[in-house]
Amino acid sequence: MSRWRAELAGRRQWGLPHRACGPEELGLLRLLVYGAWFLLFTRMDPERAAAMPRAMFQADGLLALLPDGMWDALLSRGGLEALKWVGLAATAAAALGLRPWPLAGVLAACSALLYDGMGKGFGGFHNHGQFAALAGAWLLLVFPAADGLALGRRRGGRDPRVYAAPLFVAAAATLLAYHFVGSVRFFRGDWSLLVNESMRIWFATRTVEYIGDPRGLGVLLTEHRALYALVLAGFWVVTAMEILSPLALVHRAFRWVWLAVMIPFHAATHFTMYILFWENMLLLLVVMTPLPRLLRPRDLREGAELFIDGECVLCHGVAKWIARFDPGGRVRIGALQGETARQRGIPLPQGDPGGWSVVLWMDGRVLERSDAVLGVFGVLGGWWGFLRVFALVPRPLRDEAYRWVAGRRYRLFGQHDACSLPSVEDRERLLP
């Protein structure tokens, strides 16, 4: 705890969540935003929507500027079918980062705006459930969002702040939506909301109407005075956090406090009111936490060398796998019995078939077992880098899983009695 406190005190508290990024991190945001819209489009039912009386529809905001004739065409069966399939195709293309960017993105963002406007225009539905994803779909259009994690040729090499900026702007859009909801609730609504029976009624209404059971969790929660007081107190805290949301963008410690309140709040609303802002929860994890950094290949000062148990490392499935996913040759490979391993001071394996077959030397550090595997994932970056989340699993458990796989490595990955001739790139990767 004291070390944590010292680290916290030593770090600058004022700062953005992402000041410099690679294309992979921005690619993750793109995949998430348009992927969320793709999933929402799969739930659209044109036949049902077309049966809605036109009188119930009312367009909001800028959408109100569209002429009635256009809405008539869009709200017809044919218009809704077209919107669904265009939306599915465009959001899929945008999520995959197909070029030329942002052509697919423009189509996806327009489809998302219309779909969102229709859903809310019919239901009189006002919340910030899909708002951040909608804002994100538009904001990504002005950034090179298809440079990373995209199908086809990879690009990159831009100023890292250009990749970081959209994450900042998307975070700003998300937090502004929260700030708006909290502020309007507090200042334009009624303060008595936070002390009277409104929340109780709201829980009960949602529970009964959505699950049809008056004994649902939302009702039960409010039947006990102490629990209801706790819920109201929590709602005060949540409202305060919502109003202070912009601060979470620029203050590190407050950001974690904010996330620690808002993520459980979203989970709680699912169980008590059947409201789940899953799009917001995913977006927050990407734009407000260091999670996307897992995708960025680790910077190496001295290099990474992987030592594998075996005289002929090229015969090893792991070596072949690395050669496939590390075209840049950042990970060099040698045998544990080789000269380089001896120079690095890495001891030879001692009998245990699963305990010592892969060792990673990285920037002067020796990583063994599961640490070595996670270290290789970090150097490779991209989706492999995401597997570093397993570092959160306690090491003894990880090592046990590693031993299980390592002990069966020949059965799982095969054993080669004969080598194919190494290519020039493979030979350069090899260590003596």
Residues 209-238 interacting with other proteins (rule: CB under 8 A): 209-212, 214, 219, 222-223, 225
Burial grade of 6 (CB within 10 A; 0-12, 13-18, 19 or more): exposed
**58 contributes a contact to other proteins by CB under 8 A:** yes
Shortest Cβ 71–other proteins spacing (Å): 14
Q: Could you say which of 13, 42, 196, 343 contacts other proteins (CB under 8 A)?
A: 196
CB 374 within 8 A of CB 298: no
Shortest Cβ 257–other proteins spacing (Å): 17
Shortest Cβ 329–other proteins spacing (Å): 32
Shortest Cβ 308–other proteins spacing (Å): 43
For residues 220-253, b (16+ Cβ closer than 10 Å) or e, as one string? ebbeeeeebeebbeebeebbebbbbbeebbbbee
| CA–CA distances in Å: residue 363 to residues 21, 325, 332, 360 | 22, 20, 13, 10
* Strand-pair category, 365-368 with 358-362: antiparallel
Closer to other proteins by CB, 6 or 201: give it. Answer: 201
**Strand positions, DSSP E, 17-65:** none
Which residue from 402, 326, 394 is spatially nearest to 370, judged by alpha carbons? 402
| CA–CA distances in Å: residue 291 to residues 18, 157, 269 | 10, 21, 24
Q: Could you say which of 3, 9, 10, 43 contacts other proteins (CB under 8 A)?
A: 43
Distance between CA atoms of 96 and 150, rounded to whole angstroms? 5
Closer to other proteins by CB, 210 or 236: give it. Answer: 210
Shortest Cβ 206–other proteins spacing (Å): 6
Closer to other proteins by CB, 273 or 360: give it. Answer: 273
Find all residues with CB under 8 Å of 110, minimum gap 6, and list them. none
Q: Which residues on adjacent β-strands are paired with residue 306?
A: 333, 360
Chain positions 6 to 25 lying near other proteins, rule: CB under 8 A, are 14-16, 19
Chain positions 354 to 413 lying near other proteins, rule: CB under 8 A, are none
Shortest Cβ 192–other proteins spacing (Å): 6
**288 contributes a contact to other proteins by CB under 8 A:** no
Chain positions 136 to 155 lying near other proteins, rule: CB under 8 A, are 138-139, 141-143
Closer to other proteins by CB, 235 or 325: give it. Answer: 235
Interface region with other proteins, contact rule CB under 8 A, candidates 57-65, 260-268, 339-347, 406-414: 57-65
Closer to other proteins by CB, 4 or 14: give it. Answer: 14
Q: Could you say which of 11, 77, 126, 395 contacts other proteins (CB under 8 A)?
A: 126
Q: Quick count: other Cβ atoms within 10 Å of Cβ 280?
A: 22
Closer to other proteins by CB, 211 or 401: give it. Answer: 211
